[in-house]
Amino acid sequence: MSWQGLKLWFHSLASPPHLYRFAATIEPWLAWPAWILLGIGLYAGLFIAPADYQQGDAFRIIYVHVPSAWLSMAGYAALAVASAIGLIWRIKLAHWVAHAAAPIGASFTFLALVTGSIWGKPMWGAWWVWDARLTSELVLLFLFLGYMALAQAFDDPRKGDRAAALLAVVGVVNLPIIKFSVDWWSTLHQPATIAKFGKPSISWDMLWPLLAVWLGATLLFAALTLLRTRAIILERERSQSWVAEALR
Amino acid sequence: MNLSFGVYGGYVWSAVGLFVFVTLVNLWAARAAYSRARERASRANANNSEPRSP
């Protein structure tokens, strides 16, 4: 495909009927590998990976905690980028993709907080501490919830789109705070284990199941976002003639 | 296969169980939202295509 062709294809994604059909085509190709990777990764993480020499079997919570924490931040970054595109270029579909990603991102943020808390109790002796990493992650959950509430708070959905998008863009400031909180402040939460530019401080036997769950969860996030985007497209465009054809 | 994970079993299974549960709820919610939107769009289209009285 030429550069011009690629540009045309990308622009065509701003058209609701095109994105609706494109999402329907690509969705199973994301969802099935996602479930397979999640199954393999969780099985290997729980039953094949060796126990940690310090934390014992409690370390296995990493296989659900780290992918959840990653998706909470990546999900918010995707939501903010889509919101910025919607605000700057006034592409309504970008707002709808952001709306679709919000509840999924919120659920993974909730998972990151709760699985972290479950991990914290045996390791730190406390379910919760007002540590910089935990507190900034909690703020992220409030940002997701605020985004969803604001998007629904107006009679005119376009006003809701813009107000929520503004909140999403401003909230991006929280992402580097979450990421670097463990370096900037003295926190109980451990520093980066996997996302190091040098050698990760985790053995390959423990790492590969984590990468499988991480990739599976990311693909599932994308598949669910596309499914929700299709739902929003149908809701907002239901009076359009192309919808009747698409539903046949 | 060690299913108990020693003294940490309760913590590990709670975390994994919650992750699986929330993931499945996410799937169910997305599918429900799509079915609902499809149904509403079908109804709206059926109303639009009904012949109007003069």
The pLDDT tens digits for B10-45 are: 999 999 999 999 999 999 999 999 999 999 998 888
CB pairs under 8 A between A and B: 112
* Cβ atoms of A110 and B22 closer than 8 Å: yes
* Cβ atoms of A193 and A202 closer than 8 Å: yes
What is the ipTM score, two decimals?
A: 0.90
Secondary structure class of A122 (helix, strand, coil): helix
pTM, to two decimals: 0.91
> For tokens 């079915």, what's the residue?
B35
Q: Which two tokens stand for residue A229?
A: 């985007």
Torsion on CA atoms A168, A169, A174, A178, rounded to nearest 10: 80
Torsion on CA atoms A56, A59, A61, A67, rounded to nearest 10: -160
Residue A238 has pLDDT above 80, yes or no: yes
Which positions 1-54 of B are in contact with A (Cβ < 8 Å)? 1-2, 5-9, 11-12, 14-16, 18-20, 22-23, 25-27, 29-31, 33-34, 36-38, 40-42, 44-45, 48-49
Neighbours of B12 (CB within 10 A): 26
The DSSP line for A58-113 is GGGGHHHHHHHHHHHHHHHHHHHHHHHHHHHH--HHHHHHHHHHHHHHHHHHHHHH
Neighbours of B46 (CB within 10 A): 10
> B20 CB contacts (<8 Å, ≥6 apart)?
A42
pLDDT digits (tens, 9 = 90+) for A166-213: 999 999 999 999 988 877 777 777 776 665 545 667 889 999 999 999
Question: CA of B24 to nearest chain A CA: how many angstroms apart?
Answer: 11
Q: Do B15 and A119 touch (CB under 8 A)?
A: yes
Q: Do A238 and B49 touch (CB under 8 A)?
A: no
Least confident of A28-32, A102-106, A163-167, A200-204: A200-204
- Write phi, then psi, for A215 (nearest 5 degrees): -70, -45
Rounded CA separation A176/A34 (Å): 28
Q: Which residue of B has its CA nearest to A113?
A: B15
